[in-house]
Amino acid sequence: MEKRVLDWGKRNILGIGVNVIDYEGALTRVIVAANNCQSLTVSALAVHGVMTGAKDKIHASRLNRLDLVVPDGQPVRWALNMLYDSKLPDRCYGPTLTLKLCERAAAEGLPVYFYGSRQQVLDKLSLNLTKKYPKLIVAGSRPSLFRKTTNVEKEEVTKTIKESGARICFVGLGCPRQETWVYEYRNHLSMPLLAVGAAFDFHAGLKAQAPTWMQKRGLEWLFRLTEEPQRLWRRYLILNPLYLSLLTLQKMKLKSFEQPKRAVPDNQEQWG
């Protein structure tokens, strides 16, 4: 039986174009690009990612020039349904999308690459994923330098990933650095580049994911806040209410949100 694919293009949420798309739609886009050695820029965006763009027009332009921005968080999916009656049945959660893509990549013999985080995280991530999907080919991995990179380093990173034979590259640098990385490497690597955030730590077994019942109810932020209060309190206790306030204004048509899409020069915030 042929699987249903939902892929209805982008909609404006606070000035950020987010795709009305399900897992099968996203998988199809990525796998087709990987098989054809085509560039495809992807971000799994939750509330924090949307608000980062809403508060920074330059970053909003980057996000709006990405090929695919999937609704990672339930509140982003709810916004699509509330503003546009999208009837999207589920979010497209970055960590789950990562697993589904690794499963498909293993089945189709498409090597994958992991960029970002720390080497011990990457080692555990690769080990766990190859145990789960024995046919998965991990072409390589490279940890973050946790600083801005030089042009020479950027060229070396590009060369390393190309020569690895990878057909899909997962990027875990945290928001908004990972989206900046994907944007800046989009013309240098002919493969899908996916900003998937916390997926690396989750699948390496170093951080716990929220229980399913909390995820379904949009309470994952609360779980993560209790796990890392000092790091995340500003993100959730300030940005979440602001997101809801601005969303209400957009729904009531009391405020319009420009969707900037101008080209942003590379090398402004190179981070590796």
Query: Global pTM?
Result: 0.93
The single residue listed with the structure tokens 């801005």 is: 148
Phi and psi, residue 167, nearest 5°: -115, -15
Contact 135/161 with Cβ under 8 angstroms?
no
Positions in the chain short of pLDDT 50: 1
Rounded to whole angstroms, how far apart are CA atoms 271 and 223? 28
Cα–Cα nearest to 107, from 136, 149, 83, 130: 136
Rounded to whole angstroms, how far apart are CA atoms 29 and 73? 20
User: Into how many domains does the chain fold?
Assistant: 1
For residue 251, being part of any structural domain is answered with: no
Position 130 scores a pLDDT of 98
For residue 128, being part of any structural domain is answered with: yes
Rounded to whole angstroms, how far apart are CA atoms 117 and 12? 31
Position 219 scores a pLDDT of 86
Phi and psi, residue 190, nearest 5°: -90, 70
Rounded to whole angstroms, how far apart are CA atoms 86 and 175? 26
Position 236 scores a pLDDT of 83
For residue 123, being part of any structural domain is answered with: yes
Residues 6 or more apart whose Cβ sits within 8 Å of residue 175: 45, 46, 48, 49, 52, 195, 197
For residue 14, being part of any structural domain is answered with: yes
Position 218 scores a pLDDT of 84
**Residue ranges making up the domain that contains 76:** 7-203
Position 112 scores a pLDDT of 98
Reduced to 3 DSSP states, what percent helix, strand and coil does the chain have, rounded to the nearest 5? 50, 15, 35
For residue 81, being part of any structural domain is answered with: yes
Rounded to whole angstroms, how far apart are CA atoms 142 and 140? 7
For residue 135, being part of any structural domain is answered with: yes
Cα–Cα nearest to 117, from 230, 201, 194, 209: 201
For residue 179, being part of any structural domain is answered with: yes
For residue 30, being part of any structural domain is answered with: yes
